Structure 1
Amino acid sequence: VFDTTLRDGTQGESISASCDDKLKIATRLAAFDVDYIEAGWPGSNPKDLEFFKRAQLELPEHARAKLVAFGSSRRKNVAVEDDPQIQALIDSDVPTVCMVVKAHSWQVTEILRATREENLEMIHDSVAYLAGLGKTVLVDLEHFFDGYKADPEYAMKCCETAADAGAKCLVMCDTNGGSMPWEVTDISKSVVKHFDPFCTIGIHCHNDCGMAVANSIASCHAGVGLIQGTINGIGERTGNADLCSIVPSLAIHVETEMTCSDKLTELTQLSRFVDEVLNRSPNIASPYVGKSAFAHKGGLHVAAMERSPLSYQHVEPKSIGNEMRVLISELSGRQNILGKMQDIFGNSMDAGQKSDRSLAVLNRVKELENMGYQFEGADASVHLLILYGSQGYCPPFQVLDYTAQTHDQNIDSASRLVTSRDARTTARATIKVRTVANYEEDNSDLAFAEVLEVSDGVGPVDALTRALKKALTPSHPSLKSVELMDYKVRILNPNAATEAVTRVLIDFQDTITKEKWTTVSVDTNIVSASLNALVDGFEYALI
C-alpha cells in the first residue's frame, strides 16, 4: 500500500497542508502501517524541502523508513548528475524515491518536446543513477494506460528501460482517469505476465470517471502487487483512488494480505484525522468510513437489522472502526425509536414502558417533521425528545425569558454591512435561566436559583450564546469546553417572505473529549429557533 496523500493528495482544489500538518499525517500513516508514504516533491517547493529535513529529526524511525521522495526524470539535454531536482531527491535522505516518467509516445513528442529515444535515455539515466546510489527506485509511468492503448510497443519499452536500469517497481498510471475496469484488467495481466517475477507492478488511478477504486481493485485481481492512493480519495481534479475504500475491500472481500490488514479497526479514525488536519468537512457518504456508511432510516430495515446486523450491511461496522446508526425521521418505525431508547436506558425500563414511550416519541417525531423539523442529522435533539417524556427526568436548566437587541449606528449603506465588521453594529442579549444552585452527591438535595445575565455579540445569536453560557457556567463548569462548530439556517417556505418558517441546525463540539453533536429547531422567528437549538445543545452536553 503506497500512500500519496501528502504529495498527490495535496494537489486537490482547496487542499493545503503545512509542514506541521504533513508531519502529523505522516506519523499517523506510519502507525496505520502503510508500506510507503510519499511525502512530497523536494525539487519543486521549499515546503517539501523543509519537510524532509524536519522528518529526519522529528519522525520516529519506523516512519522515516517508509518515506518516499517524489521527482521526475532528468531534464532533456541535462546530465543526470547536474539536474538540481535529481540532487534534491538525493538530499532528501530517504531510502526510497518515486520518479515520474512519460510512457505515452504522443506525450513525449508533443508535451515533453523530446524524441522517443531521448525519453528512453532520460528514463535509463535517471533510474540507473539513483539506483547506483543505493536508492530503492519506483517509477510512475505517466499516462501509461492511454499510451498502451495508442502504442503498446513503446509503452512497454518505457517499462523495460526502467526495469533494466534498476527500478524495483513499475507503476502504471491512469493519469487522466479515463480507463475502464476491463481495460485495466487486460492491460495489467499483460504487463504482470511480462515482468513477473523480476519486477513488481503497481497501479495509480485517478477518479475522473468514478472508476479509481474499481480500477485499482481490478488491477490487484490481475496480479498487481502495489496500489497507490490517498486517504479519502483527495487529489487533483476529481481525486485519486481512495485507500479508505480499497484497503478494506481487499482485506475483507478479496482476503488480500497487506501489512496494514491488522489495523483496519483504526481506518475510520485515520480518515477523520486526515480531514481534521486538512480542515475538510468529512464526506458522510464515504464507503466504510463515512458517518452514513452504516446509517439506517427505514423502519423495515431497522427491524430486520435487529434480527441480523448483516441483513442490510455488507460488513460489521466495528471491523473498520465505524458504528451503526439508527436515524429518526417520519419514515422511522418503532424499532428505530426502541433502538435509541436501548442506547439511552439500557435495561432500566421494562418492555411495556418502552413500547408505550416509543409510540409516543414516534408520533411526536412525525408531527414535528410535518412542521419542518428534520431529526436524522440531529441525534442530540432526538436524545432529548426521548428523555422529556421519561419518568424522573429533570432538565439541568430552564430558560425563563430572554430579549435580543441589535443596534446599528449607520444604516445608510447596505454594502457596508457586508464588507466591513466595524464596531458600529452590535447586539445585546439578556437571558434569565433557572439552574442548579448546588448539588449534593447523594442526589437527594437539588436546589435551583434564577440567574440573569447580559452579554454583547456580533449578532443576536452570538450574543444569546454568550449570555446563556455566562449564566450556566458557574453551576455547570463543564460547558466551558463546549463550542459551536457550525450554524446552518434554511428557509422552509420562501414564498412566505419575511413570515417564512426557519430551520436551524447547530453543530457542537467538546474541545476536551472531541465529542460532536447536532441539534435542530424550527420557528417563524429565526432568533427563537436559534435559541431553542442552543438550549438543546447545552442541555445535551450536561446529561
Structure 2
Amino acid sequence: MSRIEIYDTTLRDGTQGEGFNLSLQDKLAIAQKLDELGVDYIEGGFPLSNPKDAAFFRDVRELKLKHAKVAAFGMTRRRGIKAEDDPGMKALLEAETPVVTIVGKSSEFQVTKVLGVSLEENLKMIGDTVALMRSAGRQVVYDAEHFFDAYKANAEYAIRTLLAAQEAGASVLALCDTNGGSMPEHVARAVADVLKQTSARVGVHTHNDCGMAMANGLAGIAAGATHGQGTINGVGERCGNMDLLPFIANLRLKYGHDCLRADSLKHLTETSRYVYEIANMSPINGQPYVGASAFAHKGGMHVHAVQKDASTYEHVSPETVGNSRKVLVSEMSGQSNIAAKAGKKFDIESDKEVLRKVLGRVQDLENEGYQFEAAEASFELLLRKEIGRYRKYFELDHYRCVILRQNGSDPLSEATVKLHVGGDSQHQVAEGDGPVAALDGALRKALRAHYPQIDQVHLTDYKVRVINSKDETSAKVRVVIECKRNRSPGDGSTEGKKELFGTIGVSTNVIDASWQALVDAYEYHLVHVEEGAGQP
C-alpha cells in the first residue's frame, strides 16, 4: 500500500478552535511531541499574523527535530503587488522553514466576491507566490481553499488553480473541504479526477461541520490521495478539523497503509492526552481509539465475553494504540464485572457468594445516587469493606465550615476538623477560597502528623451533579473528585509514577458529599502505601 504523508496543523488551524489556546512554550512542547510521534510536517503558524508565531519559527530551530519538517503558513500575494514586495511573502521567507504552505482560492465565487479580482489575476497570484517560494529553495504545499465546493460549482476553473500551483513548483496539492459540508462520494470523485490531470502529490484537508471529516479524509485516500492534513484531537474552528489520531490508526490498522514510524501507533493515546494537558482541556472520553472510554465495558454480558476473548467486543487491541481496557462497575454489571475488576487482586474470582454480595451492595448504592464508573477508588474501598480487608485510619469527632462575606470583599471560608487518630486527638482549622478547600486543608493538617504520605495526593478535578432535581434545593447531590497521587517505592510501581483516581460522595448536603469523597481519597492512598510497604 502507498505511504501516506501526515501533515499536522494543530499549532495553526487547531488554535482557531474555541477554547484551544497555546503559549509559545506550549507550541514548542507540542512540536517536540509531534516529531517524536513521527509526523511528516508540522505547520507552526502564520508568521505575519502575530509576534508569537514569528517567535515560534525562530525558537523551533533550536529543537533539532529528527523527523518532521516545519511549515510556515501564508496566503498568496496581494493583488496589485509583486510577490517579492509583499510583506506576507517576506515574513514567510524570514521564517526560514524548509516548507512553506500557501493557501489560495479555488472558487470562482470566492475570487470575485471576496478577493475582488479577475479569475486570471487569481491564477497569477497563485503562480507568482509559489514560484517565489520555490526560487528561495522552499518546498511548497499548496492548500486549495474551498476546493470541493469549487469543484462542484466550476470544476474546470478549480482544476486550473491547481495546475497554476503545480506548474510554479508546488510538490503537494492539498484539496480542502474548508466549510466542512462535503460528502465522501463527492470527495472521492473529485480526488480521482484531480489525479488524472495533475502530477504532484495530492492531499486532503477536511473539516467536521457535517461530522464527515474522517469519512471524507479516508475517502480521499481510497481515491488515491497520499497526503492527509488534520489536527491532534480534531481541534479547530467551528466543529473542528479531521482528528489525525483515529485517521492514522485507521490507515495503519484498517487499510494497511504505511505512515508515521513503525512504533508510532502505541504512542497515539499518550500524544492525545499530552496535547489535552498542555492546552488545559478536558479529554473526550468517547474519542475513538484514544479516549478513556474507547475500550470500556459496562454490561455484564459484554464483560463476561471479553474475559474469554477480547475480540468479542473490541475491534482492535487497546494496547495497539497505547490505550487500556477498562471494566466498569454499575447497577448494570454482572458478577463478571466485579471479578474482572478486582477478582485477581483480592482472590475472589471464583467466590460467587462474595461477588453476589458486592454486586448487591453496588446496586443498592447506585439506587441512592452513587456511580462508580468515575470513582474506582471508592469502589475498591467498598469491596474491601465487604471482604474484611478495610481498616479505618481515623474517627471523625466533628467538622464545621463557616463562610464569612463582608460588604465589598470576597467570601472567605474557614473549616474546623476534629479527629481521633491512633489514640491521639487532632483539632485543626484552615482557611480556603471555598468551603471544600478549607475542609481539605483542615483534614490534611489533622492527618499529617500521623500520615505524612497524604502530601502525595493532590485534587485535580471536582464535579457536582444534582441527582433528583425535582426536590429542588433539598435534592441529593453527587460529588466526584479526581485526584493525582505520586506512588512511592514498593507501592505497586516505580517511585515518582503518578496515578489518577476518582472518589465519590452522595448527600443532600454538598459539603458532606465532598467530605465523603475526600476521606475516600486519603484512605485509598494510605492503604496502598501501607500494602506497598509490606504492612498489614
In structure 2, which of residues 99, 102, 105 is the aligned counterpart of residue 99 of structure 1? Answer: 102
Using the aligned pairs only, state the percent identity. 44
Equivalent in the alignment of 1:85: 88
CA shift in 2, pair 1:528/1:8, >3 Å: same
Q: 426-435 vs 370-379, which deviates more?
A: 426-435
Equivalent in the alignment of 1:421: 410
In structure 2, which of residues 386, 389, 394 is the aligned counterpart of residue 389 of structure 1? Answer: 386
Does structure 1 residue 513 correspond to structure 2 residue 489? no
Please report how far the alpha carbon of residue 392 of structure 1 lies from its aligned counterpart in structure 2 after TM superposition: 4.2
> What per-residue deviation string (whole Å, max 9, x for no partner) do you get for residues 439-479 of structure 1?
xxxxxxxxx64433222223332221011111222333332
Please report how far the alpha carbon of residue 15 of structure 1 lies from its aligned counterpart in structure 2 after TM superposition: 1.3
Instruction: Tell me, in whole angstroms, the C-alpha distance in 2 between the residues paired with 1:470 and 1:318.
Output: 41
CA shift in 2, pair 1:38/1:363, >3 Å: same
Equivalent in the alignment of 1:465: 440
Does structure 1 residue 481 correspond to structure 2 residue 456? yes
Equivalent residues in 2 for 1:445-464, closer than 5 Å: 449-464=424-439
Equivalent in the alignment of 2:401: 405
Please report how far the alpha carbon of residue 434 of structure 1 lies from its aligned counterpart in structure 2 after TM superposition: 2.2
Q: 317-326 vs 513-522, which deviates more?
A: 513-522
Q: 473-482 vs 217-226, which deviates more?
A: 473-482
Counterpart contact for 1:406–1:459, Cα < 8 Å = no
Does structure 1 residue 2 correspond to structure 2 residue 3? no
Instruction: Tell me, in whole angstroms, the C-alpha distance in 1 between the residues paired with 2:450 and 2:87.
Output: 64
Instruction: Tell me, in whole angstroms, the C-alpha distance in 1 between the residues paired with 2:479 and 2:389.
Output: 29
Counterpart contact for 2:417–2:446, Cα < 8 Å = no
Please report how far the alpha carbon of residue 4 of structure 1 lies from its aligned counterpart in structure 2 after TM superposition: 0.4
Q: Which amino acid aligns with 1:427?
A: E
- For residue 515 of structure 1, give the secondary structure of its aligned residue in structure 2: strand
Please report how far the alpha carbon of residue 78 of structure 1 lies from its aligned counterpart in structure 2 after TM superposition: 1.0
Please report how far the alpha carbon of residue 224 of structure 1 lies from its aligned counterpart in structure 2 after TM superposition: 0.3
Counterpart contact for 1:502–1:524, Cα < 8 Å = yes
Instruction: Tell me, in whole angstroms, the C-alpha distance in 1 between the residues paired with 2:261 and 2:293.
Output: 24
Counterpart contact for 1:188–1:222, Cα < 8 Å = yes
Counterpart contact for 2:37–2:260, Cα < 8 Å = no
Instruction: Tell me, in whole angstroms, the C-alpha distance in 2 between the residues paired with 1:434 and 1:522.
Output: 25
In structure 1, which of residues 350, 358, 364 is the aligned counterpart of residue 355 of structure 2? Answer: 358
> What per-residue deviation string (whole Å, max 9, x for no partner) do you get for residues 391-443 of structure 1?
44434x12322221314354xx7xx6xxx525xx43222231425xxxxxxxx
Equivalent residues in 2 for 1:41-56, closer than 5 Å: 41-56=46-61
Q: Which amino acid aligns with 1:400?
A: L
> What per-residue deviation string (whole Å, max 9, x for no partner) do you get for residues 222-262 of structure 1?
11010000000000000000001100011001111112352
CA shift in 2, pair 1:497/1:236, >3 Å: closer
Q: Which amino acid aligns with 1:148?
A: Y
Please report how far the alpha carbon of residue 73 of structure 1 lies from its aligned counterpart in structure 2 after TM superposition: 0.8
Q: Which amino acid aligns with 2:205?
A: H
In structure 2, which of residues 366, 369, 387 is the aligned counterpart of residue 369 of structure 1? Answer: 366
Q: Which amino acid aligns with 1:82?
A: D
In structure 2, which of residues 478, 485, 506 is the aligned counterpart of residue 522 of structure 1? Answer: 506
Counterpart contact for 1:44–1:85, Cα < 8 Å = no
In structure 2, which of residues 5, 28, 41 is the aligned counterpart of residue 23 of structure 1? Answer: 28
Please report how far the alpha carbon of residue 106 of structure 1 lies from its aligned counterpart in structure 2 after TM superposition: 0.7
Please report how far the alpha carbon of residue 327 of structure 1 lies from its aligned counterpart in structure 2 after TM superposition: 0.6
In structure 2, which of residues 129, 134, 138 is the aligned counterpart of residue 135 of structure 1? Answer: 138
Instruction: Tell me, in whole angstroms, the C-alpha distance in 1 between the residues paired with 2:118 and 2:335.
Output: 71
Equivalent residues in 2 for 1:273-288, closer than 5 Å: 273-288=274-289
Does structure 1 residue 60 correspond to structure 2 residue 64? yes
Q: Which amino acid aligns with 2:333?
A: S
Please report how far the alpha carbon of residue 303 of structure 1 lies from its aligned counterpart in structure 2 after TM superposition: 0.7
Which stretches in structure 2 are left out of the alignment for 5+ residues? 1-5, 487-495, 529-536
Instruction: Tell me, in whole angstroms, the C-alpha distance in 2 between the residues paired with 1:330 and 1:392.
Output: 23
Instruction: Tell me, in whole angstroms, the C-alpha distance in 1 between the residues paired with 2:181 and 2:509.
Output: 50
Instruction: Tell me, in whole angstroms, the C-alpha distance in 1 between the residues paired with 2:155 and 2:196.
Output: 15
Please report how far the alpha carbon of residue 350 of structure 1 lies from its aligned counterpart in structure 2 after TM superposition: 5.7
Equivalent in the alignment of 1:126: 129
Does structure 1 residue 312 correspond to structure 2 residue 313? yes
Counterpart contact for 2:207–2:213, Cα < 8 Å = yes
Does structure 1 residue 189 correspond to structure 2 residue 196? no
Does structure 1 residue 155 correspond to structure 2 residue 161? no
Equivalent in the alignment of 1:431: 418
Does structure 1 residue 491 correspond to structure 2 residue 466? yes
Equivalent in the alignment of 1:502: 477
Equivalent in the alignment of 2:533: none
> What per-residue deviation string (whole Å, max 9, x for no partner) do you get for residues 196-219 of structure 1?
xx3100000000000001100111
Q: Which amino acid aligns with 1:55?
A: V
Alignment root-mean-square deviation, CA? 1.6
Aligned residues: 513
Please report how far the alpha carbon of residue 167 of structure 1 lies from its aligned counterpart in structure 2 after TM superposition: 0.4
> What per-residue deviation string (whole Å, max 9, x for no partner) do you get for residues 487-525 of structure 1?
222222233344322211111123653321111111122
Counterpart contact for 2:414–2:429, Cα < 8 Å = no
Counterpart contact for 2:418–2:425, Cα < 8 Å = no
Please report how far the alpha carbon of residue 34 of structure 1 lies from its aligned counterpart in structure 2 after TM superposition: 0.4
Equivalent in the alignment of 1:332: 333
Instruction: Tell me, in whole angstroms, the C-alpha distance in 1 between the residues paired with 2:500 and 2:359.
Output: 24
> What per-residue deviation string (whole Å, max 9, x for no partner) do you get for residues 134-156 of structure 1?
10000000000000000000000
Please report how far the alpha carbon of residue 486 of structure 1 lies from its aligned counterpart in structure 2 after TM superposition: 1.8
Instruction: Tell me, in whole angstroms, the C-alpha distance in 2 between the residues paired with 1:191 and 1:355.
Output: 64
Counterpart contact for 1:502–1:522, Cα < 8 Å = yes
Q: Which amino acid aligns with 2:433?
A: V
Instruction: Tell me, in whole angstroms, the C-alpha distance in 2 between the residues paired with 1:85 and 1:343.
Output: 63
